[in-house]
Amino acid sequence: MRFTRTLCLGILAVAMAAPSFAQSNPATAAAKAQFGMISTVLARTAEKVPENLYTFKATPEVRSIGQLLGHIADSQFGMCATAAGEKPPQSGIEKTKTSKADLTKAIIDSNAYCNQVIDAMNDQKGMEVIKFFTGPSPRLSVLGFNVAHSYEHYGNLVTYLRLNKIVPPSSEGK
């Protein structure tokens, strides 16, 4: 009985502590959750696609799978750096990296960098208006734009995967 009561109190303490950041910083917590969803499927996509398909293009006029992954990594570094008020730690990935290993690492690194930026954010800092290419924007809006942009190109990747009879990570389940 005592063990059960202690266990229940411990579970309750953890449950109450976890949402405390979300309660005091709901916009930042939502940005972190949304980025967590796209960053997971991007990393799984980069890892899942065979090396020989990194040059695959649906048509000659569009980016290849590898170029899309490089573009996403570049844009994540750029947008998250803008939100943080920093210079991007990496750039030029789309134009210089072609191997699966390099592009997978770039996606993982850009995900980690964006998570670092979001972890340093709170709602007050997130509402500060900064310069962005779309016009003056709150920092959290820049992070939201990054999520939307990444999902836009993940949609391209899903089509490419389906054309190659590969189930996209977002359709696999957990």
- Does 14 fall in a domain? no
Does a structural domain hold residue 134? yes
In a domain, 1, yes or no: no
Residue 4 lies in a domain: no
- Give tens-digit pLDDT for 4-13: 343 333 433 4
Whether residue 110 lies inside any domain: the answer is yes
The mean pLDDT of 36-51, rounded to a whole number, is 97
The reply to whether 103 falls in a domain is yes
The CA-atom distances, in angstroms, between 102 and each of 67, 116, 149 are 12, 21, 21
Strand partners, 68: none
Q: Tell me the per-residue pLDDT of 92-146, one tens digit each, with 9 for 90 and over.
A: 999 999 999 999 999 999 999 999 999 999 999 999 999 999 999 999 999 999 9
Checking if the pLDDT of 154 tops 70, the result is yes
Q: What is the pLDDT of residue 18?
A: 47
d(CA 113, CA 98): 21
pLDDT at res. 19? 57
Residue 3 pLDDT more than 70? Answer: no
Q: How far apart are CA 118 and CA 140, in angstroms?
A: 9
Residue 123 to residue 37: CA distance in whole angstroms: 20
Kindly report the CATH number assigned to the domain that includes residue 70: 1.20.120.450
Mean pLDDT of 39-54: 97
Distance of CA 57 to the CA centre of its chain: 23
Domain of 154 in residue numbering reads as 27-172
Averaged over 75-90, what is the pLDDT?
Answer: 98
What's the pLDDT at 107?
98
What number of H helices and E strands is found in the chain?
A: 8, 2
Q: How many Cβ atoms are within 10 Å of 89's Cβ, its own excluded?
A: 12
Asked whether residue 151 is domain-assigned, the answer is: yes
Q: In this predicted structure, what is the pLDDT of residue 173?
A: 73
Q: What is the mean pLDDT of the chain?
A: 90
Kindly state whether residue 5 falls inside one of the protein's structural domains.
no
Instruction: Return the higher-pLDDT residue of 68 and 20.
Output: 68
Determine the pLDDT at residue 174. Answer: 67
Give the pLDDT score at 155: 97
Report the domain count for the chain: 1
Q: List pLDDT tens digits, range 6-43.
A: 333 343 343 444 456 568 999 999 999 999 999 999 99
CB-based contacts of 78: which residues, under 8 Å, 6+ apart?
A: 88, 91
